[in-house]
Amino acid sequence: MDLFELKECEYTSATVKNQLITKSTDDYIAFVNLKYSDSSQILNFINENNLLYQNEVIVFGDYIPDGICNQIDILNSFSMEVYSIIMKRSLFVITGCYNEQLYYNTDFELLCRLSGHTDIFCIACTDERDYTITNDASALTYAYIIKKYIHTLKRSDTLYSYLERITHFLMQSNYIDNFKEYMSRMLYDDKYYAQIDQNTAPVLILSGDNTCYGVIKDFAYYLAEALISLGQAVITTDGKYGIIENIKNLKNIQIKCIIGFQATSLVNEFFRNINTTKFIFLFDNPIFFSNCLRNLSDDYYILCQDGDYAKFMSTHLNIKNALHFPPAGRGLGLAYNQDRIYDIVFIGTYYPVATKLLTNDSCKKYFNHLIMNPSDNFEVSLNRFNNLHKIINEDEDLISLLFELKPIHQNAINHYRHLVIETIISSGINLHVFGDSWNNFESEYKSNLIIHPNINVDESLIVYSKAKIGLNIMSWHKAGMTERIANIMLSGAVCLSDETTYLREHFIEDEEIILFSLEALNHLTDKIHILLADIEYRTNIARKAYRKANKEHVWNTKARQILDILSC
């Protein structure tokens, strides 16, 4: 159990306790108010009575019943003064943690939520203290509680008696007028209530399918787990996390935001009509999704791994919230495997250039234009090509033509993937690749291409942990970063990648990453030979890269960034 002793000013702060929740790792977390007790007293009582692990929530305090309490019992204990609270951390997946929009009686409010999912074991200390409210923040909390649980109180036939008791209680503290004002706003101003309620509302994550070898579905789980580690309530549509009986009920419950990965379904009418923020992670060129990304409202955020994609969507698709948001990675750690048996590995699929698509003279010219200008993104390339050949006139035609040219763009990607691999193995370096697709690779140097069986995402992390160098070849993301780069760094290998503006701006070249230019592949093998020959140089790069990636390119960081966007 992670136990935190807090001064009175810390204990009453929802923000302070939430920060401690994010740092805790044990199954149970406990807070003790040093004004009334200390950890030794609490622990002695729990151990003597064997309470831990028999109860998911334990509360010590005044003005609470003794023993096991349900939600109605907790609601009726609105004057409670909590000395200490012990909670099973996994409950926050369903309930969320402390509500930072409230400033007093936050233990009471959290217990009301927790008691909707589990019984609360209460230890009443004494009722001899004269409890009075010392500020109007309690009046706000009580008004919010009544609004939130009004149907629960009605079903138990206690609403009117509950209102009478709270009114009488607040009259003694001269905060009845404040309470009436807050209550009126709660009942008649839906936005005011929603602003408070959304603080602890769940994030809905669309689980996705097994597209891209299950990578997209894995991303959904990684982000869900990261949000949960921060105390955020989470629901996944496959039922793995949280509780939702029917997705059609979404319109009737408070959702903090909805997140999907490559989830164009998020733009359909059903989701458009849900009044919450929607995040769509896109990992491919937005040109391929242009038809469904038009006319999005301001509550949509499109998160892309390439800064150029974000600019394209803002400029051509009028998307207000198109953000450069590189994906995170995972790894087995810097020192997981010191026996790095592979000199250099590349984990990706091989596709040969489809020459049958280049029979048309215009297609050949455009393909050759791409090959001659590998530093330009597709939009820039097409505009430059148009300046030479005058093939388009209007912006709408540009988008349509970019979409139609997808096969030519893919051919350019395949061409450079082949050329990079060919450059490496032609120098006598053994390159380890994975999957049957590499059997289609044709080269007189193919004996230096070591082809292994197919592997899944988790197995790829083991491979990176056994490699000295992890190769990354961008799929024409000229201002981006991929999860492959983060995975390589987080597994303790040196990342060798073709350059992008993002990588140059965010990593120190030759200290955290090794970059090469597609326009100067003659220098590529020299970089590899130097890395393989100098273990100290290689190790220093891997160590520095790991530190940066572990700080900036892990899912916990991305989860915090999403929550920061929501709090703006």
| Contact present, 237 and 249 (Cβ < 8 Å) | no
H helix and E strand count, the chain: 24, 18
> Can you list the domains of the chain with their CATH numbers?
2-199 (no CATH), 201-328 (3.40.50.2000), 342-552 (3.40.50.2000)
**pLDDT above 70: percentage of residues in the chain:** 95
| Strand pairing report for 81-88 and 57-62 | antiparallel
CA–CA separation, 83 and 32 (whole Å): 6
Neighbours of 147 (CB within 10 A): 18
Q: How many CA atoms lie within 13 A of 359 on its CB side?
A: 2
The two tokens of residue 88 are: 């099973």
| Residue 127: pLDDT over 60 | no
| Contact present, 90 and 66 (Cβ < 8 Å) | no
Among 245, 234, 226, 286, smallest CA distance to 262 is for 286
DSSP symbol at 2: E
The two tokens of residue 537 are: 């140089």
Among 119, 165, 128, smallest CA distance to 145 is for 165
| Residue 396: pLDDT over 60 | no
The predicted pLDDT at position 532 comes to 96
Lowest mean pLDDT among 165-169, 205-209, 563-567: 205-209
The predicted pLDDT at position 203 comes to 96
Q: Where are the alpha helices (DSSP H) in 230-306?
A: 269-272
Residue-wise pLDDT for 243-295, tens only, equals: 776 667 777 788 999 999 988 889 888 888 888 999 999 988 888 887 788 88
Q: How confident is the model at residue 211 (pLDDT cuts 50, 70, 90)?
A: low
Those residues with Cβ within 8 angstroms of residue 117's Cβ, 6 or more apart along the chain or in another chain: 91, 94, 95
CA–CA separation, 518 and 377 (whole Å): 13
Those residues with Cβ within 8 angstroms of residue 515's Cβ, 6 or more apart along the chain or in another chain: 496, 497, 498, 499, 503, 504, 509
Residue-wise pLDDT for 400-458, tens only, equals: 888 888 899 999 999 999 999 999 999 999 999 999 999 999 999 999 999 999 999 89
The two tokens of residue 158 are: 């206690």
Residue-by-residue DSSP string for 415-483: HHHHHHHHHHHTTT--EEEESGGGGG---TTGGGEEEE----HHHHHHHHHTEEEEEE--SS-TTB--H
The predicted pLDDT at position 168 comes to 87
CA–CA separation, 431 and 442 (whole Å): 14
Residue 457 Cα distances to 27, 125, 215, 483, angstroms? 28, 53, 7, 11
Residue 425 Cα distances to 118, 178, 450, 468, angstroms? 61, 76, 10, 16
